[in-house]
């Protein structure tokens, strides 16, 4: 759909490859003429390690979702944080500076968005995760950009409420919701789910039941893809048209 806006003839297809097959699949793609690709979980860390070079954001996140082939080899980018920030601020007119932000989960999805969120200068960012050691390790990787606090699920109810709660867990794919205490949401707060389509329904249903404003991650999906498209082509597509088409098609 982005290419159609500019009359470009492109091929963009899914290539199924597990962790063991990924290096060979990427090389086969390059030999067949591939010049750029998106990488999805669980291969984002492997993409970072396979790349000949990467952006500073990728090095900090230790995860890449966009590769572009150059003379020296694959160059890795991560457009997840840019995509999230664009959806929040441009598509939904949300302010990030001086806000209290809670991120659910401390995996690769969180690593991809932390840098961009810290750059917005929020009042506080807190990670909640079952594995506290993993969360602390992730927070320390970003301490040059700002402080990231860590807490466990059992202690979450003891903290003050948050203006923005971001679900970066994969529980929705299992039909489950994070164990969120109601007091976690401040007045006029927003619950943003990185999941979209079927995986977003459990948390969306929960928020609708309690009257909590909820936004799914479809806009982020499109915005991070638009950023990748710009890396590959130098052209900036109109994301709003694509978001509307996808929502009209799926909902």
pLDDT in tens, 159-182: 999 999 999 999 999 999 999 988
Kindly state the tokens that stand for 231: 């890396």
What is the overall mean pLDDT for the chain?
95
pLDDT of 249: 80
Positions marked active-site:
44
**Separation of alpha carbons 183 and 69, rounded Å:** 47
Q: What is the pLDDT of residues 110-169, one digit of tens each?
A: 999 999 999 999 999 999 999 999 999 999 999 999 999 999 999 999 999 999 999 999
For residue 250, what pLDDT is reported? 62
Q: Which residue has the higher pLDDT, 248 or 136?
A: 136
- What is the rounded distance in angstroms from the CA atom of residue 183 to the CA atom of residue 161? 6
Rounded to an integer, the average pLDDT of 228-250 is: 93
Confidence of residue 224 (pLDDT cuts 50, 70, 90): very high
pTM (2 decimals)? 0.93
* List of domains in the chain: 2-78+224-250 (3.40.50.10860), 81-219 (3.40.50.720)
Indicate the pLDDT class of residue 42, thresholds 50, 70 and 90: confident
Own/partner pairs for 52-60, CB < 8 Å, 24+ apart?
57/81, 57/115, 57/116, 60/111, 60/114, 60/115, 60/141, 60/142, 60/145
User: What whole-number distance in Å separates Cα of residue 70 and Cα of residue 154?
Assistant: 47
Count how many residues are written for the chain: 251
Q: How confident is the model at residue 251 (pLDDT cuts 50, 70, 90)?
A: very low
Q: Tokens 């202690």 belong to which residue? A: 155
């Amino acid at each position: 759909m982005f290419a159609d806006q500019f009359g470009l003839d492109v091929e963009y297809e899914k290539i199924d490859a597990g962790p063991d097959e990924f290096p060979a699949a990427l090389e086969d793609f390059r030999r067949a003429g591939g010049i750029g690709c998106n990488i999805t979980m669980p291969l984002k860390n492997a993409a970072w390690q396979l790349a000949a070079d990467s952006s500073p954001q990728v090095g900090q996140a230790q995860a890449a979702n966009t590769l572009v082939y150059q003379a020296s080899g694959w160059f890795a980018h991560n457009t997840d944080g840019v995509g999230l920030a664009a959806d929040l601020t441009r598509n939904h007119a949300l302010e990030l500076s001086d806000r209290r932000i809670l991120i659910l989960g401390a995996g690769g999805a969180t690593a991809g968005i932390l840098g961009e969120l810290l750059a917005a200068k929020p009042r506080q960012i807190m990670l909640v995760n079952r594995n506290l050691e993993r969360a602390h390790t992730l927070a320390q990787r970003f301490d040059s950009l700002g402080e990231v606090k860590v807490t466990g699920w059992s202690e979450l109810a003891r903290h003050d409420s948050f203006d923005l709660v971001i679900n970066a867990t994969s529980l929705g794919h299992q039909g489950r919701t994070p164990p969120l205490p109601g007091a976690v949401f401040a007045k006029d707060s927003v619950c943003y789910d990185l999941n979209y389509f079927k995986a977003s329904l459990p948390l969306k249903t929960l928020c609708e039941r309690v009257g909590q404003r909820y936004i799914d991650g479809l806009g982020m999906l499109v915005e991070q893809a638009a950023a990748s498209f710009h890396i590959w082509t130098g052209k900036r597509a109109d994301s709003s048209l694509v978001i509307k088409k996808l929502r009209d098609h799926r909902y």
